[in-house]
Structure 1
Amino acid sequence: MPEAAAIRRHFLASLQAAEAPHRPYRHWLLKQALPLESAAAIVDLPVRPAEIDDTQGKRDSHNESRVFFAGDLMADHAVCRDMAACFQAPETIAALQQATGADLEGCYLRIEYCQDKGGFWLEPHTDIGAKRFTMLVYLSTAADGPNWGTDIYDSEKRRVGRAPAGFDQGLIFVPGNDTWHGFEPRDIKGVRRSIIVNYVIPEWRARHELAYPDQPVQAA
């Protein structure tokens, strides 16, 4: 399986080749965001999807069931350690800042592993505030997976697009007061898998969610 440096080189090549639409806000669409071996290893992690009746349109409505590349999961699984090392690396931080304009210096890495099932939905929201950067990498293997991408809205909260969500495709945006996105209810047969990579401000309270709670990121 690729180690952190190989994951980083692969990801940075994908970032460099990403499409970057400007409407309704600047965002980046990635293809083959991760080495396929790494993406498959994430899918194979021994983590069962949580049984949630209703998300109430928010991920934080069931915080106790959320899974992060941190603590025991990082200690026990090489792919989690290597993914975290990739996105903590100064070279990655420098490339992300240059490509997107995000101010990441002094922030902390947070990687969530999501496994959404039927009934999942998210209301339109912006991620503004404590998150300085958001990336989703879609890892669904189901036939309908490509239709399970993030919905993108304009300033009036009208859906204007949907991120392509084929296996190993990704979406990046820099949270702002116009970055409306969500997940409209749709039929999910199987599991909608993804990772969400955030860089969050030092004041982030849930330190157990962070890959390196005592190590802020720095650019090369």
Structure 2
Amino acid sequence: MIATLLQSFDCAQSNDAPYKHWFLEHCLPEDVLDAVLALPFEAPPLEGVSGKRELHNATRRYFDAENMSRFGVCQAFNDAFQSSTVTDRIERRFATNLDGSYLRVELAQDTNGFWLEPHTDLGVKLFTMLLYISKDPAHQDLGTDIYDAGKKHVARSPFHANGALVFVPSDITYHGFEPRKINGVRKSVIINYVTSDWRAREQLAFPDQPIKH
């Protein structure tokens, strides 16, 4: 898994507008991708409410301590992103500093009616990787929407299984999800490294193990 991640980082397509971001392909070995897709979590109901993920905090799923103990793929996934080999390469390839940060991994399962308003991730997040894992051909137009500093829609990331969007949060990294039809479940894994100010410690992969270099 580490070797595959490093290769995807090295081959990432860099884009400068409206802010620095990268498109990645072939992020995970196929068996790991299939194992993540097979995790037995039901997509939570939206109950007519969307616009921000935090509106559904009670039903969000993380690769946390409990799920690492239950599912080997969650443990392996987190071990890879916690490794100094991967974090060192992230720092060099994407020009960020992860020292003292904590890994947070969320499995997102979005259904019809889901949307996200433009937001930046600025604050306690030092790195964002949106890893798309759905294999449904009908999901090819379900990529992340990208906006300029005035929140004007300018682009949409490709959406295909094992591809990803990466950016380092700043005050202009506006992204979201425009309302549109979702057939089935749009699945993705959200990988963040967050500062020690992150309050929900139970969401973290290794709450007592900050990244150290």
| TM-score, scaled to structure 2 | 0.98
For these two proteins, the number of residue pairs brought into alignment is 213
Q: Is the 8 A contact 1:55 1:121 kept in 2?
A: no
Please identify, of 175-184 and 156-165, the stretch whose mean Cα deviation from structure 2 is larger: 156-165
C-alpha spacing 1:55/1:107, structure 2 compared with 1 (3 Å): farther
Secondary structure of the corresponding residue to residue 66 of structure 2: helix
Aligned alpha-carbon RMSD (Å): 0.8
- Superposed, which structure 2 residues align to 1:179-198 within 5 Å? 179-198=173-192
Do the aligned residues in 2 keep the contact of 1:67 with 1:112 (CA within 8 Å)? yes
Structure 1 counterpart SS, 2:137: coil
8 A Cα contact 1:106 1:218, kept in partner: yes
* 2:66 equivalent in structure 1: 72
**1:56 Cα deviation after fit:** 3.0
Structure 1: any 5+ residue segments left out of the alignment? 1-6
Show the counterpart of 1:144: 138
* C-alpha distance in 1 between matches for 2:3 and 2:109: 26
- Within 5 Å, give how 1:8-23 maps onto structure 2: 8-23=2-17
CA distance in 2, matches of 1:116, 1:71: 23
| Aligned mates of 1:107, 1:136 — CA distance in 2 | 18
What secondary structure does 1:186 align onto?
coil
Deviations 1:15-44 (A, max 9, x none): 100101000000010011111111111010
CA contact (8 A) 2:50 2:113 kept: no
What does residue range 1-220 of structure 1 map to in structure 2 within 5 Å? 7-219=1-213
Q: 1:73 to 1:142 in 2, by over 3 A?
A: same
Give structure 2 stretches of 5+ with no counterpart: none
* Residue pair 2:8, 2:24 contacting (<8 A) in 1 also: yes
Q: Deviations over 1:106-130 (max 9, x none)?
A: 0000000000000000000000001
Q: Distance in 2 between matches of 1:166 and 1:65?
A: 25
2: CA distance between counterparts of 1:143 and 1:101? 33
CA contact (8 A) 1:53 1:119 kept: no
Partners of 1:111 and 1:197 within 8 A in 2: yes
Q: Which runs of 4+ in 1 moved over 6 A?
A: none
Q: Secondary structure, in 3 states, of the residue corresponding to 1:115?
A: strand
**% identical equivalent positions:** 42
For normalisation by structure 1, the TM-score amounts to 0.95
